[in-house]
């Protein structure tokens, strides 16, 4: 896998909600085929960064490039069409709609080969195949997270932004989710992952960035970050 | 028994009108995220356009087409105004759209009462209503008009098509996603304004068809009809549970039947007061609507 082609370039990006600065001069790179992990406490700006990359917030200044094209200020739906997809934190799925409807929503813009994509998704997540007609709101937390990931695949993305996938899930389910993320990455998807479960995330990631109150305070290879005394103390509780 | 059957049919026909109007109102609420109080007023305006075209050209088809086009146009032309507010929905309350819509409704009502037909109620010719041909089915006291059958049939067909569209098509899926949570819908790449615009077009079409059906069924219209319908549609939607499409179907039909029964057994002129009294009692007992709210205002 070629891993020097830049997929996402974030340069000096700042975002404010009213008077509150959410992101302060963020610089970040994701190369093709990489898993990059964003480390940070609640409110550090992980979700803001992901939503800004997707186009949900317009940065005050700075530049975002995706696949070589400038994308800041471009609407979310256009970015989705270009191959970016966010797996949001929390509920993440439309709970009044069926599993199949949720999946098809992922393919809203990219309808080609929908049956093939469904087959692919059901290969990753066999449980969803059995539950196609079930209402998403009746799925377990882990199943919903799987559905949100599966919905991302339906859009045929080049890069998936995954926001806190392990939040509130049982350890066994978390293991499954991380296995799937690793498999997705091996098959060529670039992944930007935000996680509080840092140990597990750094184990599967290539590199990572540490966010604190909207700034990047540290970055490096996953191995270096895992062995960094400050990271260990602040985020691993060692 | 005869009165009961006759009034039941009357009620179903007028109830179908309420259902179509409430469905349009609810769709605009769910997908375009606006409270379009004046939606029925725009529909009555389209009845007037129909009437003018029939009067001028003598051609019923021109009137029907004109009524439908008019309703779609009003929706599409006012959409940018509402979408401006929708775009600012993080800082603006949804009730703003209701004020906007009420203003629009008052302007339309005033135009109707000052210009067309010198403000007098309009009457549609028999070529449209088919009243000259007499009742379609007639037995004793029971008589069912062509207009009633047509309204009921078209109402059923349109509701079926609409639900198919909502639950079986790509655009319907996007509508439902926005209805459940506009912010999440945006994050999965549904364009809110563009999809919203499609709901204006669809409800405009629905409104236009309703205008034609009302022209056939009622045979007349007046400037005040829009406001009256506006109140009823709002009441039906709230009693069913705001945004609850299935609930709107049932409550719309029930209101039609209730009114018809009051007209059949008591004084007809009291039907508005009595049916609103009944609705007041229902809303006191069920403040969230009989079938439950489908729209949480904090998520708009």
pLDDT in tens, A49-71: 999 999 999 999 999 999 999 99
For residue B299, count other CB atoms closer than 10 A to its CB: 11
| Model pLDDT, residue B141 | 66
- Tokens read off for B196: 């919203």
**CA A5 to mean position of chain CA atoms:** 19
- Per-residue pLDDT band at A6 (split at 50, 70, 90): very high
Quick: pLDDT tens for B29-55. Answer: 999 999 999 999 999 999 999 999 999
Which of B170, B180, B184 has its CB closest to that of A108? B170
- Per-residue pLDDT band at B81 (split at 50, 70, 90): very high
Question: What does the angle CA B114 – CA B120 – CA B122 come to, to the nearest 5 degrees?
Answer: 115
Cβ separation B189–A56 shorter than 8 A: no
Cβ separation A97–B188 shorter than 8 A: no
State yes or no: pLDDT of B268 exceeds 80: no
Number of Cα atoms under 13 Å in the Cβ half of residue A15 = 29
Pick the residue with more confidence: A91 or A186? A186
| Model pLDDT, residue B265 | 84
- The percent of residues in chain A predicted with pLDDT above 70, rounded, is 97
Q: Give the residue from A69, A54, A64 showing the smallest Cα distance to A10.
A: A64
Cβ separation A108–B184 shorter than 8 A: no
| Model pLDDT, residue B71 | 97
| Model pLDDT, residue B283 | 87
State yes or no: pLDDT of A121 exceeds 90: yes
Cβ separation B189–A80 shorter than 8 A: yes
| Model pLDDT, residue A138 | 94
The residue whose two tokens read 């449980």 is A127
Distance CA B236, CA B85 (A): 25
Tell how strand A190-195 and strand B122-123 pair up: unpaired
DSSP state of B116: G
Q: Which of A44-48, B141-145, B240-244 has the lowest mean pLDDT?
A: B141-145
User: Which residues are CB-neighbours of A153 under 8 A, at least 6 positions away?
Assistant: A106, A117, A120, A121, A124, A184
3-state secondary structure of A68: coil
- Tokens read off for B92: 């603006």
Contact B259/B270 with Cβ under 8 angstroms? no
Contact A43/A13 with Cβ under 8 angstroms? no
- Tokens read off for A211: 């966010």
| Model pLDDT, residue B93 | 77
Distance CA A11, CA A70 (A): 11
Average pLDDT over residues B265-286: 85
3-state secondary structure of A23: strand
Cβ separation B186–A56 shorter than 8 A: yes
- The percent of residues in chain B predicted with pLDDT above 70, rounded, is 96
Mutate which of B178, B181, B189 to disrupt the A interface (most A C-beta within 10 Å)?
B189
| Model pLDDT, residue B296 | 58
Which of A91, A97, A155 has its CB closest to that of B189? A155
- Per-residue pLDDT band at B299 (split at 50, 70, 90): very low
| Model pLDDT, residue A238 | 60
Distance CA B300, CA B295 (A): 8
Query: Which pTM was predicted?
Result: 0.91
Tell how strand B142-144 and strand B137-139 pair up: antiparallel
Mutate which of A83, A94, A135 to disrupt the B interface (most B C-beta within 10 Å)?
A94
Residue B179 Cα, gap to closest chain A Cα (Å): 10
Mean per-residue pLDDT of chain B: 90
B205 CB burial (10 A radius; 0-12, 13-18, 19+): middle
Note the maximum CA span of chain A. 49
| Model pLDDT, residue B298 | 46
What residues of B are in the A interface, CB distance below 8 Å?
Answer: 170, 173-174, 176-177, 180-181, 184-191, 194
- Tokens read off for B188: 């999965």
- Per-residue pLDDT band at B279 (split at 50, 70, 90): confident
In chain B, what is the straight-line distance between the N-terminal and C-terminal CA atoms, in Å? 48
What is the total residue count of chain A? 238
| Model pLDDT, residue A232 | 84
| Model pLDDT, residue B233 | 95
Residue B291 Cα, gap to closest chain A Cα (Å): 15
Q: Give the residue from B124, B156, B123, B151 showing the smallest Cα distance to B136.
A: B151
Distance CA B88, CA B84 (A): 7
Residues of B in contact with A80 (CB under 8 A): 188-189
Report the complex ipTM. Answer: 0.91
| Model pLDDT, residue A3 | 61
| Model pLDDT, residue A91 | 67
Distance CA B10, CA B4 (A): 10
State yes or no: pLDDT of A168 exceeds 90: no
Which of A96, A111, A151 has its CB closest to that of B188? A151
DSSP state of A113: T
What is the helix (H) or strand (E) element at residue B164, kind and residue range? helix B146-168
State yes or no: pLDDT of B297 exceeds 90: no
- Per-residue pLDDT band at A27 (split at 50, 70, 90): very high
| Model pLDDT, residue A95 | 93
State yes or no: pLDDT of B136 exceeds 90: no
Contact A234/A44 with Cβ under 8 angstroms? no
In chain A, what is the straight-line distance between the N-terminal and C-terminal CA atoms, in Å? 35
Cβ separation A91–B184 shorter than 8 A: yes
Cβ separation A95–B180 shorter than 8 A: yes
Distance CA B20, CA B228 (A): 15
Average pLDDT over residues B73-98: 86
Distance CA A14, CA A11 (A): 9
Distance CA A28, CA A12 (A): 9
């Amino acid at each position: 896998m070629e891993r020097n082609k830049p997929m996402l370039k974030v340069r000096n990006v700042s975002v404010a909600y009213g008077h509150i600065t959410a992101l302060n001069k963020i610089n970040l790179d994701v190369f093709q085929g990489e898993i990059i992990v964003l480390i940070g406490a609640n409110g550090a700006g992980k979700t803001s960064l992901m939503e800004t990359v997707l186009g949900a917030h317009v940065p005050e200044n700075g530049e975002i490039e995706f696949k070589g094209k400038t994308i800041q200020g471009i609407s979310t739906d256009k970015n989705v069409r270009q191959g970016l997809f966010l797996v949001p934190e929390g509920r993440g799925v439309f709970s009044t709609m069926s599993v199949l409807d949720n999946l098809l929503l992922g393919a809203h813009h990219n309808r080609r080969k929908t049956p093939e994509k469904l087959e692919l998704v059901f290969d990753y997540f066999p449980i969803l195949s059995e539950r196609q007609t079930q209402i998403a709101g009746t799925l377990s937390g882990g199943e919903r997270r799987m559905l949100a990931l599966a919905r991302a695949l339906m859009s045929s993305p080049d890069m998936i932004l995954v926001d806190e996938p392990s939040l509130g899930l049982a350890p066994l389910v978390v293991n499954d989710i991380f296995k799937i993320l690793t498999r997705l990455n091996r098959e060529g998807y670039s992944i930007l992952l935000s996680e509080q479960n840092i140990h597990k995330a750094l184990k599967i990631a290539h590199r990572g960035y540490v966010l604190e109150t909207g700034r990047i305070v540290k970055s490096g290879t996953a191995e270096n970050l895992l062995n960094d005394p400050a990271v260990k103390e602040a985020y691993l509780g060692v | 028994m005869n009165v009961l059957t006759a009034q039941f049919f009357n009620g179903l026909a007028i109830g179908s009108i309420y259902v179509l109007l409430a469905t349009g109102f609810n769709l605009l609420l769910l997908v375009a995220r606006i409270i379009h109080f004046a939606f029925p007023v725009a529909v009555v305006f389209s009845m007037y356009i129909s009437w003018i075209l029939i009067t001028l050209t003598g051609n019923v088809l021109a009137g029907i087409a004109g009524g439908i086009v008019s309703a779609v146009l009003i929706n599409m032309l006012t959409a940018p105004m509402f979408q401006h507010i929708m775009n600012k929905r993080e800082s603006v309350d949804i009730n703003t759209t209701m004020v906007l819509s009420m203003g629009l409704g008052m302007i339309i009502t005033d135009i109707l009462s000052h210009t067309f037909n010198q403000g007098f109620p309009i009457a549609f010719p028999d070529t449209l209503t088919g009243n000259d041909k007499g009742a379609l089915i007639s037995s004793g006291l029971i008589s069912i008009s062509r207009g009633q059958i047509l309204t009921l049939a078209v109402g059923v067909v349109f509701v079926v098509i609409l639900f198919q569209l909502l639950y079986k098509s790509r655009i319907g899926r996007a509508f439902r996603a926005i209805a459940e949570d506009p912010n999440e819908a945006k994050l999965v790449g549904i364009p809110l304004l563009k999809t919203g615009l499609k709901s204006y077009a669809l409800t405009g079409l629905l409104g236009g068809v309703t205008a034609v059906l009302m022209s056939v069924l009622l045979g007349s219209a007046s400037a005040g009809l829009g406001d009256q319908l506006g109140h009823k549609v709002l009441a039906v939607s709230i009693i069913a549970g705001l945004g609850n499409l299935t609930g709107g179907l049932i409550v719309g039909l029930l209101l039609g039947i209730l009114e018809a029964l009051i007209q059949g057994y008591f004084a007809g002129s009291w039907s508005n007061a009595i049916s609103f009294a009944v609705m007041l009692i229902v809303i006191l007992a069920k403040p969230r609507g009989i079938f439950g709210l489908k729209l949480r205002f904090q998520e708009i």
